[in-house]
Amino acid sequence: MGLIDRFFSNKPNAPSTDTGSAAAARQRLQFVLVHDRAEIPPATLNLIKDDIIAVLSRRIRIDREHVSVQLTYTENESRLVVDIPLLTEALSDAPGRARGSSARPATAPRPSSR
């Protein structure tokens, strides 16, 4: 620290030394509290994720890299949110089924009646 800096940093702590650590604290706390409240540690969630991938992969093709298994906590309710992108080919062996690129079952086109 130079002479000039030292002179002007008379305050106990220059704000520049601490930029953004409150944001880090908020993010880390949110994560750890949601796990504490649900009594499900992050490591267990990873095991659950592996299990889900294993079970689904026996039946359908999924994009393993982008599977997300997360805990959320809103309005006094803990919720396990699982998002599983399907590979496009996942629906291809069902004849008549449209090959939509959409991965979510809810939005997948229904089989035509032809």
Q: Which residue's structure tokens are 């396990």?
A: 80
Q: Are 109 and 96 in contact (CB under 8 A)?
A: no
Least distance between other proteins and beta carbon 103 (Å): 27
Q: Are 62 and 90 in contact (CB under 8 A)?
A: yes
- For the segment 10-49, give every residue that binds other proteins (CB under 8 A): 10, 12-13, 17-18, 21-22, 24-25, 28-29, 31-32, 36, 39, 41-43
Half-sphere exposure of 12 (CA within 13 A, CB side): 0
User: Residue 65: left if φ>0, alpha if ψ -120 to 50, beta else—which one?
Assistant: alpha
Among the residue ranges 2-10, 49-57, 73-81, 95-103, the one whose residues contact other proteins (CB under 8 A): 2-10
Residues in contact with other proteins, counted by CB under 8 A, come to a total of: 22
**Residues near other proteins, by CB under 8 A:** 1, 3, 6-7, 10, 12-13, 17-18, 21-22, 24-25, 28-29, 31-32, 36, 39, 41-43
